[in-house]
């Protein structure tokens, strides 16, 4: 326990739904960020690691009784339908949800399929033949320094990622803006695929809010559901900037929402 911080007064259980749960060290940055949030909210945070393939095969019964659900980043198709099922459970049962990187992308896919009426919507990373590519490979964009960056599906994975710290503008009145308490943030990225802006109007009409944008307004950074108690998903990795001394606003807000659900 850090000097000057009191011992936990309460406890919550967070379900982390991923496909590397047999090796929990794969989520070390996330588990530490949750622990940091626990310090700052005086909460003991218990993490239940849930294999997304289990949800895919057996359903979402293992999510019952959780105070919050977190879907982290990852690559590849294995277990992704289980992650989508976890998002749907959290959305429909009003369970606090935090999605990170792929966790944001599956949140968009789930909302597109089950709320916006876009049957078989998916990411082209996982289903190149999807009729509704709500997540897709953006082949060209401008970096903060004005340099044009280009991606190609056939080139080296690392060479085509959006990497490192980048600035994000937060929409006034959004939950993200309230959580961070400022209009602009800077967070670290590690991904290739982005939200496909062709579906922006359709998703907004269905109720999804796009609350965080790149400074040029072309890349979606954060989505949220306004009529949900606490549902935020980010394209970036907030866990990379969490520290024991300062914590991180998103994780602290997430744990505070989990406490609210526990008390209800």
Candidates 197, 168, 202; CA nearest to 183 is 168
pLDDT at 146 over 60: no
Instruction: Count the domains in the chain.
Output: 1
pLDDT at 149 over 90: no
Question: Is there a domain that residue 101 lies in?
Answer: yes
The range of the structural domain enclosing residue 226 comes to 10-137+193-211+220-263
Average pLDDT over residues 232-237: 94
Question: Is there a domain that residue 188 lies in?
Answer: no
Contact (CB, 8 A) for 88 and 114 = yes
Catalytic residues: 101, 237, 239
Task: Give the model's confidence band at 162: pLDDT under 50 very low, under 70 low, under 90 confident, else very high.
Answer: low
Question: Is there a domain that residue 180 lies in?
Answer: no
Contact (CB, 8 A) for 30 and 74 = no
**pTM of the prediction?**
0.90
* Tokens (6 digits) for 63: 């999510």
What does the pLDDT look like over 53-87, one tens digit per residue?
999 999 999 999 999 999 998 777 888 999 999 99
Q: Note the pLDDT of residue 26.
A: 81
pLDDT at 159 over 50: no
Q: Note the pLDDT of residue 161.
A: 59
Chain centroid to Cα 235, Å, comes to 6
Look up the CATH number of the domain holding residue 39.
Answer: 3.40.50.880
pLDDT at 148 over 50: no
What does the pLDDT look like over 191-224, one tens digit per residue?
678 899 999 999 999 999 999 999 989 899 999 9
């Amino acid at each position: 326990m850090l000097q000057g911080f009191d011992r936990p007064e309460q406890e919550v259980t967070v379900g982390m739904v991923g496909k590397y749960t047999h090796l929990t060290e794969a989520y070390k940055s996330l588990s530490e960020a949750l622990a940091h949030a626990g310090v700052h909210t005086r909460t003991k945070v218990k993490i239940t690691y849930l294999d997304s393939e289990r949800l895919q095969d057996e359903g979402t019964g293992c999510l019952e009784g959780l105070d919050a659900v977190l879907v982290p980043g990852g690559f590849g198709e294995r277990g992704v339908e289980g992650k989508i099922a976890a998002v749907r459970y959290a959305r429909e049962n009003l369970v606090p949800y935090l999605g990170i990187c792929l966790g944001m992308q599956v949140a968009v896919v789930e909302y597109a399929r089950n709320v916006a009426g876009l049957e078989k919507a998916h990411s082209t990373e996982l289903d190149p033949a999807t009729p509704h590519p709500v997540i897709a490979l953006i082949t060209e964009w401008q970096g903060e320094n004005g340099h044009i960056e280009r991606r190609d599906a056939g080139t080296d994975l690392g060479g085509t990622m959006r990497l490192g710290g980048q600035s994000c503008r937060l929409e006034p009145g959004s939950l993200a803006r309230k959580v961070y308490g400022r209009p602009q943030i800077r967070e670290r990225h590690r991904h290739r695929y982005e939200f496909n802006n062709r579906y922006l109007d359709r998703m907004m009409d269905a109720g999804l809010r796009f609350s965080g944008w790149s400074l040029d307004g072309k890349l979606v950074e954060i989505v949220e559901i306004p009529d949900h108690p606490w549902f935020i998903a980010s394209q970036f990795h907030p866990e990379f900037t969490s520290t024991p001394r300062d914590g991180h606003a998103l994780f602290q807000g997430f744990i505070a929402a989990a406490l609210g659900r526990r008390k209800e």
